Amino acid sequence: MHKKLFLNQLFTGLMGASVLAFAGGTAADTINMRANTIGAEGGIQMEGLRTLKQVVEDRTGGQVNIRLHHSGALGDQESDLESLRAGTLDISTIETPITSVDPVLGLLSLPYLFRDREHVEAVLSGPVGDEFRERLQERGYRVLGFYEGGFRHITNSRRPIVEPDDLRGVRMRTPGSPLRIRIFNHYGADAAPLPYPELYSALQTGVFDGQENPLVEVRASRFYEVQDYLSLSGHVYTVGFILMGEERFQSLPEDVQQALLEGGEAGGAATVAFGREADESVVELAEGRGMQVNDVNLDAFIEASSVIWDDEAERLGGSAAELIEAIVNTETP
């Protein structure tokens, strides 16, 4: 440990000129970074970013200071992607809008693509995950880590959702993903996008009847205050990306780059643990707050989703069909 610390200090000294160019001062100057997420302060994204911050600051002996911003304080995911490319933002958590960078990654939002968390881990830690990293790096982004957006479930103020037909006529808020909108319209809902920070108010005022999000967001955003029914559909697992702009990443000393990659991996692992805990505690919380919680007819939802797979693979073209097949065929330990 002492030897590693000594070598890191020696390396920092030898790289003093490049640190000076970056920091604009002495070698002891702090590298200040900003990380933004649309997630709530108590949400899963912030759990990942807090872990990343701790790991990076520890690994660099305080040379790097990461300031965290939540609830979209610095912008939404779409503007964050632009800011990362421009170098005006250092780190962000990106989910569905990743398709604006690479449309093929829209396949990750296919309903019932992932069997469970073990399947997700096997996919993202294997060749498919490597390909996702490479595709994004080619487009100007560095993946520091994958994080758990979580298995998404349906809440609404109209009725319990057991069958897909129960969604007929329900005004559902979705993310801006065209695929997610098509999924819910196919089930029979009246789906439309809305920025996440506006969602609570829209549910409270009746602009939307329902929404779909992981259980951690039901808790973090207090949707149990404005929704009556929680239906455990698990229809999509959201893969999240902890991203930096590639140019910004490459501008940093190698030891800082390594610390960021280690922090991203640790942050992703922290979100998985956070999500597992929420699976049990949020259901209990929702019931305690008066929500009616029910299971769905999973077979009916999977059957209703099959045509979406075929349509989406054809629409995306390219390597989408091969990637979908690789994901489905990935075995868990």
Mean pLDDT calculated for residue range 66-95: 97
Position 281 scores a pLDDT of 94
Confidence class of residue 243 from pLDDT cuts 50, 70 and 90? very high
User: Does 59 show up as a binding residue in the annotation?
Assistant: no
Position 18 scores a pLDDT of 37
Alpha carbon distance 73, 46 (integer Å):
13
User: Does 152 show up as a binding residue in the annotation?
Assistant: yes
Alpha carbon distance 131, 128 (integer Å):
5
Mean pLDDT calculated for residue range 275-296: 94
Per-residue model confidence as pLDDT tens digits over 14-31: 344 333 333 333 445 899
Confidence class of residue 308 from pLDDT cuts 50, 70 and 90? very high
Distances (CA, A) of 20 to 89, 246, 248: 20, 20, 16
| Beta strands 31-36 and 91-94, pairing class | parallel
Position 94 scores a pLDDT of 97
Position 234 scores a pLDDT of 97
For the chain, report the end-to-end CA distance as a whole number of angstroms.
Answer: 32
Alpha carbon distance 169, 191 (integer Å):
9
Position 17 scores a pLDDT of 36
Contact 145, 166 (CB under 8 A): no
Per-residue model confidence as pLDDT tens digits over 82-91: 999 999 999 9
Confidence class of residue 267 from pLDDT cuts 50, 70 and 90? very high
Mean pLDDT calculated for residue range 148-175: 97
Q: Does 10 or 212 have the greater pLDDT score?
A: 212
Pick the CATH number of 2-329 from 3.20.20.70, 3.40.190.170, 3.20.20.80, 3.75.10.10: 3.40.190.170
Q: What is the pTM of this model?
A: 0.83
Position 37 scores a pLDDT of 97
Region of residue 74 (left: phi > 0; alpha: psi -120 to 50; beta: else):
alpha
Closest CA to 261 of 273, 238, 243, 240: 243
Rounded to whole angstroms, the maximal C-alpha distance in the chain is: 66
Position 212 scores a pLDDT of 98
User: Does 213 show up as a binding residue in the annotation?
Assistant: yes
User: Does 67 show up as a binding residue in the annotation?
Assistant: no
237, β-bridge pairs: 151
Alpha carbon distance 90, 190 (integer Å):
37
Position 25 scores a pLDDT of 37
Per-residue model confidence as pLDDT tens digits over 186-221: 999 999 999 988 999 999 999 999 999 999 999 989
Confidence class of residue 35 from pLDDT cuts 50, 70 and 90? very high
Per-residue model confidence as pLDDT tens digits over 108-126: 989 999 999 999 999 999 9
| % residues pLDDT > 70 (the chain) | 92
Contact 267, 52 (CB under 8 A): yes
Q: pLDDT averaged over the chain? A: 91
Low-confidence winner among 19-23, 137-141, 174-178, 211-215 (lowest mean pLDDT): 19-23
Confidence class of residue 131 from pLDDT cuts 50, 70 and 90? very high
Q: How many C-beta atoms surround the C-beta of residue 66 within 10 A?
A: 21
